[in-house]
Amino acid sequence: MSADVVTVPVALGDRAYDIRIGAGLIDTIGKSAAGLGARTVAVVTDQNIAALHLDRALRSIANSNLGAAPIVVPAGEATKSFKYLEQAVSGLLDAKIERGDIVVALGGGVVGDLAGFAAAVTRRGVRVVQVPTSLLAQVDSSVGGKTGINTAHGKNLVGAFHQPSLVLADTSTLDTLPDREFRAGYAEVVKYGLIDDAGFFSWLEKHWKGVFAGGEDRVHAIATSCRSKASIVARDEFENGDRALLNLGHTFGHALEAAVGYDGARLVHGEGVAIGLVLAFRFSARLGLTSEEEAERVAAHLKAVGLPTRIADIPGEVGDADRLLELMTQDKKVKAGRLTFILARGIGRSFIAPDVPPQNARDFLDFALKS
């Protein structure tokens, strides 16, 4: 393994795996799959990523004398659907992928979620290697085993926990990422500082330009984010406790994504998370849990990097407070019809707040829509 590759372990007993972070890791897919005992590798990717990286992946697989089966789906959040799940599963079955083989999810969060879910349900479970090509996927969705698709009722409501056998975070793929997508992924990086690492948030305030430029700062930010997520996942694999902290900003963000019909031209996931992070801190301040200054510090940093921070920053209409609250009640964190929020007593001091009265949330949403 290259000295330039950082390895972050995810300690899950017999489901433990490594996250490898570094440049050029797409070229190791074949060797990694062979090391896992695969004979055939199915590569699920989208049309955009296929044009950029699929040939490299297939060449790596061929160089290890393994069979290869590319499965290419359309790009975009709308691909996380029953329609394209069926296409992915059919592609795996057509390729005669067996349980000892490997499904490679080559792409961003959409491909990772879709391919991971297809692997989880094909033959009752085929191994998956996540090869995330977006910043968001490298620091969040590729790690932890959550897979799934969206429905008209909400985001990620159909899915399964299916841990990868390996994560290969090739940092060189981020050089081809559009600026908007990189910024969106950065919101998830900021999230880790806001959950329980105030020092990391302060570091990001000083070094974010280096993270955007690449090099050591970028690798440090990705590795720190992955260590944070790996630690939480190891404590609570199936989200029965602490893992819910990773949803900071997401209860608001997912509702906003649903409100725009998952239209990526209006709002991509990381932008929804950015607005959601600010709303979570402003809601916390409104409830007297943290100061207005802390909430505005969060908003100021996200605004400085070019991310939206208010509902009003979303083009077009998103509906009223009642509509957003209705979308929130479809969230997976709802129990007995009561909302669970991740709130904060300050930067790096987030906590799980079960049973938030719906009226409090509705009143805050009405305020946020007018702000």
Q: Is 153 a catalytic residue?
A: no
Q: Is 229 a catalytic residue?
A: yes
- Helix locations, the chain, DSSP H: 29-35, 47-49, 55-63, 82-94, 109-121, 135-136, 179-196, 198-213, 216-235, 250-259, 269-286, 292-304, 321-328, 358-370
* Lateral strand order in the sheet of 127-132: 6-10, 17-22, 166-170, 127-132, 102-107, 40-46, 67-73
Q: Is 146 a catalytic residue?
A: yes
Contact 155, 241 (CB under 8 A): no
Q: Is 243 a catalytic residue?
A: yes
Q: Is 77 a catalytic residue?
A: no
DSSP 54: I
Q: Is 254 a catalytic residue?
A: yes
Whole-number Å distance between alpha carbons of 122 and 113: 14
| Active-site choice (20, 127, 218, 250) | 250
Q: What are the φ/ψ torsions at residue 182 (nearest 5 degrees)?
A: -65, -45
| Active-site choice (80, 162, 229, 333) | 229
3-state helix, strand and coil shares in percent for the chain, rounded to the nearest 5: 55, 20, 25
| Active-site choice (65, 124, 206, 370) | 124
| Active-site choice (247, 257, 294, 301) | 247
| Active-site choice (162, 243, 301, 332) | 243
| Active-site choice (77, 188, 271, 294) | 188
Q: What are the φ/ψ torsions at residue 149 (nearest 5 degrees)?
A: -130, 165
Buried b (16+ CB within 10 A) or exposed e, 343-355: bbebbbbbbbbee
Q: Is 250 a catalytic residue?
A: yes
| Active-site choice (183, 269, 332, 333) | 269
Closest to 109 (Cα-Cα) out of 268, 281, 254, 283? 268
| Active-site choice (53, 80, 146, 301) | 146
Annotated catalytic residues are 124, 146, 188, 229, 239, 243, 247, 250, 254, 269
